[in-house]
Structure 1
Amino acid sequence: MDKIKALTGILTRLNNGESIESIKDETKDLLEKISPTELSLAEQKLVEDGMKTEDLRGLCVIHMEMLKDTLEKLKASVDKQHPLYMMITEHDSILGFLQQLEQLNNKIQCMDKDSIVEENVKNLGELAKNLISAENHHLREEDALFPELERLGITGPTRIMRMEHQELRARKKNLLQLSEQFDSANLDEFKKQVDDNAKYLIFNLRDHIFKENHILYPSALESVESSEKWQEIKDKCDEIGYCPFSEV
């Protein structure tokens, strides 16, 4: 079967709510046949063929599955107190929140005026608060890690990450406001707004984490050679503080 066609089929199933675990064997078989470059080209082709960007969010899951071993090697190359180790483990928690959000959004989209589940609205607020609680993670990147990379001439990626942080912050706050201002009389609008913000976060935050884990962080580890400099970054991270879910 054509690789693009097979990939489209897997993405369609993921977008319909099927979990990555349920099609793990098929995904593994596909990953053995397609390179990261081909995967990127497939993504471009799918967009050109009319697939919405937010419906490509399953690609982030596949990307991460492909490069899981590479990420584990990076973690193994530093100690558990290293700034990058901490940031990667925090990413794992954030990805868990996104998986919960994807499942919850599917439930919310199935609600109608005769079957409103208040627990879903409550859980939406809790998930939004969990995502917002990652703020110190972003601040440690922006104020401790990025300045050193920019000093070394790595400015493009950090500029993009800063811009993405701003938009992601706004979307997280939108979800929280939606949960706090839920009006059953405007259920359709509520569902539409939740779907828009949830899908944006699920796709873009996963993609953001992918770029940091597999491009920015490896570049940082390669570029910042001094252990003393990493200690300075660590001291600044400690000063900024960590997240409620951080392993400290």
Structure 2
Amino acid sequence: MSEIINNSRTRIEKIKDLLRDINNGNDTEESKQKLGELMGSVPHGEVVAAEQELIAEGFPEEEIIKYCDLHSTALRGFIDEEEKLVIPEGHPVDTFKKENLLVNRRIEKLRMIESSLKSLKDEDASLQLVEVRNILIELTDIDKHYYRKENLLFPFLEKYHITGPPKVMWAKDDEVRGFLKYSIQSISDVEKISTSEMLLLFETIIGASIKAIEEMIYKEEKILFPMSMDTLTENDWYEIFEQSDESGYCLFYPEVKWKPINLNIPEDKNHEPTNRIKLSTGSFTREELESFFKTLPVDITFVDKEDKVRFFSEGPDRIFGRNKAIIGRQVQFCHPPSSVHIVEKILNDFKSNKESTAKFWINFRGKFVHIAYYAMRNEEGEYLGTLEVTQNINEFKSLDGERRILQYE
């Protein structure tokens, strides 16, 4: 490229112009070369900024998704190759990268099997065909890798107003999930597949799965991870680390427990207004919490460990009547004498830790009603009370098949 690009703003605009041209059909080798040469001279942050601005200007996200792989192919060998991330062992990015390494090893094994199948007869290839299926099933573990990325890393990027690239990447993650699903379905009866049929699958759906996974690994390693390391604080990364276990890992479990040296997490790490009711997984204003319970399609009643009614929800279509006079009342007095013995048994079984749930379903005034009782316990297993959840399930009895298309009632 002959012109000298002197500043960040000019470089970003040039990237946007080239990406628009490619998207409009001008995807010639010359255009790709220009894009590649330009990418070789810019930081990854400017690539991300260009993509982000295109989306903000109304450029359809689905169009960016369409040329996403072309974009990353043009970037190969150019983006910050001299920049090597130094990542401590056990850091979330270290875990992501180790997972990618293990995924790549499975892909290498698939390529080796594909190569060997070309010289094998059907009767000699049965073990290799079964191994292909097993490796593809193993690769579905990548969903945990993507889940952590989408639900732990992306929220922190969004906190810093980086929203475009995560949206595009999430869509590409879903493509990988779909390719793997259909690849496994295509060889579910692997014993009946011939060598030539398997090779055809490698050329089509299995090959598409491999390519999509490799492209995603490249995007993560060359764009997402460097950008995230530049953007997130040590406190951010530690929050991601703390929440990662419950989401699971791909193909291995990290043994090293990472903790930043200068950890400084404020008491109110989410910087929420003081008028919000704070819980361990989020917060509400009082108005939001009241509306939350009124909107739930179930009726809820809470009885504390002393058998006193402490709360009930006020939905528009309550099944069993409640009024505020029952607050503080012994729950046994809220039931007719004929059913008190059942209430007592449930409470006693919950308190003794003999049982934790009790469920009933009845016909009541034209409704088919499901009633469930749940023992509430703290982290030490101590009984806190009982939750009653009641729901009219008439509409569920007639459901059949699936509804995946938006349809309002």
Question: TM-score normalised to the size of structure 1?
Answer: 0.66
1:36-71 CA distances to partner (integer Å, 9 max, x unpaired)?
Answer: 935989xxxxxxxxxxxxxx99x97x947997764x
User: Which residue is equivalent to 1:137?
Assistant: 145
User: Which residue is equivalent to 2:159?
Assistant: 151
The amino acid across from 2:236 in the alignment is K
Using a 3 Å threshold, how does the CA distance of structure 1 residues 170 and 39 change in structure 2: closer, same or farther? farther
CA contact (8 A) 1:90 1:246 kept: no
Which of 237, 247, 256 is equivalent to 1:240?
A: 247
Deviating more after overlay: 167-176 vs 88-97: 167-176
SS in structure 1 at match of 2:202:
helix
Which of 65, 88, 92 is equivalent to 2:101?
A: 92
The amino acid across from 1:215 in the alignment is I
Which of 165, 168, 171 is equivalent to 1:163?
A: 171
Using a 3 Å threshold, how does the CA distance of structure 1 residues 35 and 152 change in structure 2: closer, same or farther? same
Which of 210, 213, 218 is equivalent to 2:218?
A: 210
1:108-158 CA distances to partner (integer Å, 9 max, x unpaired)?
Answer: 354555x55101111101211221122211110011001111221212211
In 2, Cα distance between equivalents of 1:66 and 1:112 = 44
The amino acid across from 2:117 in the alignment is I
Using a 3 Å threshold, how does the CA distance of structure 1 residues 104 and 218 change in structure 2: closer, same or farther? same
Offset at residue 171 of structure 1 (A): 1.6
| Greater relative contact order (CA < 8 Å, ≥ 6 in sequence) | 1
Structure 2 residue 220 is the aligned partner of structure 1 residue 220 = no
Using a 3 Å threshold, how does the CA distance of structure 1 residues 185 and 38 change in structure 2: closer, same or farther? same
The amino acid across from 2:97 in the alignment is I
In 1, Cα distance between equivalents of 2:129 and 2:39 = 36
CA contact (8 A) 1:140 1:237 kept: yes
In 2, Cα distance between equivalents of 1:98 and 1:131 = 9
User: Which residue is equivalent to 1:230?
Assistant: 237
Structure 2 residue 132 is the aligned partner of structure 1 residue 124 = yes
SS in structure 1 at match of 2:210:
helix
Structure number, greater radius of gyration? 2
User: Which residue is equivalent to 1:194?
Assistant: 202
In 1, Cα distance between equivalents of 2:35 and 2:98 = 23
> Which ranges in structure 2 are unaligned for 5 or more consecutive residues?
1-32, 41-68, 256-409
Offset at residue 165 of structure 1 (A): 1.1
Using a 3 Å threshold, how does the CA distance of structure 1 residues 35 and 178 change in structure 2: closer, same or farther? same
Using a 3 Å threshold, how does the CA distance of structure 1 residues 240 and 195 change in structure 2: closer, same or farther? same
Question: TM-score normalised to the size of structure 2?
Answer: 0.42
CA contact (8 A) 1:178 1:190 kept: no
SS in structure 2 at match of 1:238:
helix
> Which ranges in structure 1 are unaligned for 5 or more consecutive residues?
1-33, 42-55
CA contact (8 A) 1:64 1:210 kept: no
1:190-222 CA distances to partner (integer Å, 9 max, x unpaired)?
Answer: 432233123212222111111111111111111
SS in structure 2 at match of 1:180:
coil
In 1, Cα distance between equivalents of 2:95 and 2:79 = 22
Using a 3 Å threshold, how does the CA distance of structure 1 residues 69 and 202 change in structure 2: closer, same or farther? farther
CA contact (8 A) 2:121 2:195 kept: yes
CA contact (8 A) 1:83 1:234 kept: yes
Q: Percent identical across equivalent pairs?
A: 22
> Which structure shows the higher helix fraction?
1
In 1, Cα distance between equivalents of 2:208 and 2:38 = 21
